[in-house]
Amino acid sequence: MRARSHCYRSASAGLTEKHTTRRVLSVVLRVGISVGLFFLLIWWLPSFDADKLWPDFNSATPFWLVGALLLTVAGNMAATARWYEVAVALGLKVKPRRMFSHYMAGMFISNFVPTTVGGDVLRMSRLTNDTGDGPHSFASVLLERLSGWIVLPVFTLLGLALDEELRGLGAPTRVAASTAGLTLLALGLILLLVGNQRFGRLVSRRKGWVRFVNGLHMGIDELRAKPRDTGRVLITAFAYQAIMLAAAGCAAKAVGINGLGPIELMAFIPAVLIIQVLPIALGGLGLREGALVLFLHDLGVIDEQAIAMGLLLYFLTVAGSLVGLPTLVFGGQYWQRVSRSRHGR
């Protein structure tokens, strides 16, 4: 038995070491890609001037910076409300304050620990500890994410539809419209597949991790059967993205960009948000800035200002997620003690 236990521990240690090595290599690769994208962007620009990255500060600059940060924090609260509405629709009973703790801890992980899905995994794990329902907790996080993929393309297409000039910009218009269209197409295919009854019967008979996929299938079914709850999810999703558009507008003002109105923000910023989550760069660095240069250049925005705006948006996201540090360190332990005391354990 000792030999078997020793072999098991050795195998587990080996798997952990391999996983750690793979994760480190992934981080190094993504950092390298981000650096490469920045060098490519600078090389591609005809007359890049690093001095223009720093805006001319004036009396209004602190106002716009503080406004952008406050709106980013408000956006985090709205995103938690979106997740809460999904959880309620799926029958999960959990307090909004607790979900905010889990959401911010997950956001901190996503921003400070270079991983694509680590924050979502943490949210799923902590919500499962709260509710005892792993499949529905899994579904709540994924459906909360998917609701954003409905709203972002709609904003882009609506912004383009409202302004004839934006529809005639050439490459920026084509890229934004294509990004929105492909996102809606991918979302539709996912919902058709996972929401299919035959698919549901197939995964319902499986064990292990597949039962979580079945939880997503059941979650889609439950949202279909509850149009009022689904409506609340979409309302909070639109509110969240509207707040983030306002934060982007403040960030633009902070770096000296004055020509972006609500329609321009609506048409192009959601497309930037979609592009930046492609899992090839660290925190979207390089992707976001390149997309902003593409979309804003023909609107009269200096390329260096577009890059500065992208970097500021990244740092605002990082700063806003600092709230998640104490919830990451202490939140899980606190809520576990509360759960044990309520259940007499």
40 occurs within a structural domain = no
User: Comparing 40 with 248, which gets the higher pLDDT?
Assistant: 248
**Separation between Cα atoms, residue 126 and residue 138, nearest integer Å:** 10
Distance separating alpha carbons of residues 342 and 166, to the nearest angstrom: 57
**C-alpha span between 79 and 145 (Å, rounded):** 10
Q: How far apart are CA 134 and CA 298, in angstroms?
A: 48
pLDDT for residue 119: 82
Location of structure tokens 């889609």: 220
Q: How far apart are CA 76 and CA 121, in angstroms?
A: 18
Report pTM: 0.84
Q: Which residues of 120-156 are buried (b: 16+ CB within 10 A; e: fewer)?
A: bbbbbbbbbebbebbbbbbbbbbbbebbbbbbbbbbb
- Whether the pLDDT of residue 339 is over 60: the answer is no
Helix extents (H) in the chain: 2-44, 61-89, 96-112, 118-131, 134-162, 164-167, 171-195, 197-204, 210-225, 227-254, 262-276, 287-297, 303-320, 324-326, 332-342
Report the C-alpha gap between 106 and 215 in whole angstroms: 21
Which residues are CB-neighbours of 47 under 8 A, at least 6 positions away? none
Number of domains in the chain: 1
273 — pLDDT class (breaks 50, 70, 90): very high
Supply the pLDDT for residue 1: 47
Per residue in 170-203, pLDDT (tens digit) is 999 999 999 999 999 999 998 888 777 776 666 6
Give the mean pLDDT of 85-93.
91
Residue 159 lies in a domain: yes
The domain containing residue 322 runs over which residues? Answer: 59-342
Joined together, the tokens standing for residue 84 give 């809460």
Q: Name which of 108-117, 208-217, 297-306 the model is least confident about.
A: 208-217
Q: Is the pLDDT of residue 18 over 70?
A: no
pLDDT for 82 equals 95
29: in domain: no
Q: Provide the pLDDT confidence category of residue 6 given band limits of 50, 70 and 90.
A: very low
328 found inside a domain: yes
What mean pLDDT is reported for the chain? 83
Answer yes or no: is 74 within a domain: yes
Is 106 within a domain?
yes
Residue 14 located in a structural domain: no
pLDDT in tens, 115-124: 556 788 889 8
Rg over CA atoms, the chain: 22
Distance separating alpha carbons of residues 37 and 183, to the nearest angstrom = 23
What pLDDT, on a 0 to 100 scale, did the predictor assign at position 199?
66
Residue 98 lies in a domain: yes
